[in-house]
Amino acid sequence: MQTNSVIYSVKNGVGFIKLNQPESRNALSTEIKEGLLHSLDLAEEDSDVKIVIISGEGNTFCAGGDIKGMGKRTTLESVEKINLTSRIPVRMEAFRKPIIAAVTGYAVGAGFSLALASDIIFAEVDTKFGLSFSKVGLIPDCGALYYLPRLVGPWKAKELIFSGEVISSEEAKNLGIVNRIFPKGRVFSESVLFAENLAQGPAQTMQFVKSIITKTANHSLAGTVEYENYAQSILQQTEDHAEGIKAFKEKRMPVFQGK
């Protein structure tokens, strides 16, 4: 499926969601937000999709919120815009399959938040990340105030947010925000290779891992163990588990079916 604002496609078990408004540096317009949410619905419903990659067309991942109309909206219009934006991180957290953000150029403002809402962030060398909300008298949104302190600690998060500082992909990696950095022109292809390898793995296992880590972020050890026990009991009954044991005994690579 292809629209003017978001391109969605599937290949080799990977769902591709590409923000497609390079003329505005893929800022989160209403069209992009709606297209992104619709694409996530399609990917979750498609049993062939095991993992998703979100990327941006052109030389920017996402330049944040669409500044058109900022400062001119009524309170009701602002509430409607913000509610639509806030649906994105909530949907991504509830999304059962892993999401990789393949980031190039800039991920700033809500674009940074979009990357943070993903499960894995791969970035191109010299990519820039920043939360410049304070420069326009706003606070970070789209889940940034939830995710960033958990990644870098509350004190570093406050420093980055208060200052509106833009940091490099190298510093973002050092802070634990970015998982891997790749040379110019290679982040998307490397993300595809990584995703295709994951797509050959046990899909149900990845889904449970994502769900448990998400649900137990603020849980006690006892609560986390309860979730682990529940998931493990189910996974031990799956065909993928049986195949994994069989392959181990036969000293070969397992062939998982996501069942």
Report pLDDT digits (tens) over 5-60: 999 999 999 999 999 999 999 999 999 999 999 999 999 999 999 999 999 999 99
| Domain ranges, ordered by start, for the chain | 6-199, 203-250
Q: How confident is the model at residue 248 (pLDDT cuts 50, 70, 90)?
A: confident
Instruction: Report residue 232: phi and psi, to 5°.
Output: -65, -40
Q: Kindly tell me if the per-residue pLDDT of 97 is higher than 60.
A: yes
14, two tokens: 């990977």
Mean per-residue pLDDT for 164-174?
95
Average pLDDT over residues 62-89: 76
d(C-alpha 239, C-alpha 202), whole Å: 10
The pLDDT of residue 160 is 95
Interatomic CA distance for residues 49 and 14, integer angstroms: 5
The H or E element containing residue 78 is: helix 75-94
What 8-state DSSP symbol labels residue 39?
H
What pLDDT was estimated at residue 244?
86
The CA distance from 235 to 115, in Å, is 29
Give pLDDT, residue 7. Answer: 96
The CATH code that applies to domain 203-250 is 1.10.12
Residue 175 has what pLDDT?
A: 97
Task: Tell me what pLDDT residue 142 has.
Answer: 87
CA 133 – CA 24 distance, rounded (Å): 18
Pairing of strands 128-130, 166-168: antiparallel
Nearest Cα neighbor of 187 from 72, 54, 5 is 54
- CATH domain 6-199 topology: 2-enoyl-CoA Hydratase; Chain A, domain 1 (3.90.226)
Tell me: the pLDDT tens digits for 109-133? 999 999 999 999 999 999 999 988 7
**Top-confidence residue, 48 or 4:** 48
